[in-house]
């Protein structure tokens, strides 16, 4: 594999939960991501997208974690070390954003240790207190909550926001 066209971005399949967990936990072992079990991934498999090569191997993944009808997190973005530098991270985030748009979510956010990656994708740095749903659901129980070094970024999904407001009117 030497071009990005060798890889497709698509919705994850239930049978891929173990492989997604292995990729995720490779980075969790380096304290770069939070650990996820195959069971956790299976429960939310409809929220995952993957980057798969021509043989079906998972080279990257990402998920959309919805907190309400108006806010969701771009989460669990991981790209295999062997596939880094091919633009897969950007393509995965694009696919997660597309999933959010399809669901009518007007804004997404991300907590990251790679701020320059999300800045390059048009995200703006924001205070994580802007998302009390995230703090209540995930941060309160996190072992790193008092020493969290992740930066929070947000991005409005303008076309989704317009549909959301039209539906509310």
Q: What is the mean pLDDT of residues 121-145?
A: 83
CATH classification code of 4-168 = 3.40.630.30
Q: In what order do the strands lie in the sheet with 58-68?
A: 7-11, 48-53, 58-68, 71-79, 107-112, 151-156, 124-125
Task: With 0.75 as the threshold, say if the pTM is over it.
Answer: yes
pLDDT band at 5, cuts 50/70/90?
Answer: low
* Residue 159, pLDDT score: 61
Residue 146 pLDDT more than 70? Answer: yes
Helix, strand, or coil here: 8?
strand
| Sign (positive or negative) of CA dihedral 89, 92, 96, 102 | positive
Residues of the chain with pLDDT > 90, as a percent, come to: 72
Give the residue, 165 or 156, on which the prediction is more confident.
156
**Using one digit for the tens of pLDDT, what is the confidence trace for 16-46?**
999 999 999 999 999 888 899 999 999 999 9
Residue ranges of domains in the chain: 4-168
Residue 90 pLDDT more than 60? Answer: yes
């Amino acid at each position: 594999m030497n071009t990005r066209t060798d890889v497709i971005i698509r919705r994850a399949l239930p049978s891929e939960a173990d492989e997604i967990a292995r990729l995720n936990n490779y980075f969790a072992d380096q304290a770069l991501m939070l650990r996820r079990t195959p069971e956790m991934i299976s429960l939310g498999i409809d929220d995952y997208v993957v980057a798969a090569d021509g043989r079906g191997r998972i080279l990257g993944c990402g998920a959309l974690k919805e907190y309400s009808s108006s806010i969701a997190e771009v989460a669990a973005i991981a790209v295999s070390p062997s596939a880094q530098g091919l633009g897969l991270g950007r393509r995965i985030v694009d696919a997660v954003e597309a999933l959010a748009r399809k669901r009518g979510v007007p804004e997404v956010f991300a907590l990251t240790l790679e701020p320059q990656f999300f800045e390059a994708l048009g995200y703006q740095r924001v205070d994580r207190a802007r998302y009390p749903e995230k703090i209540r659901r995930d941060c309160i129980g996190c072992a790193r909550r008092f020493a969290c070094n992740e930066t929070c970024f947000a991005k409005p999904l303008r076309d989704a926001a317009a549909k959301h407001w039209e539906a509310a009117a």
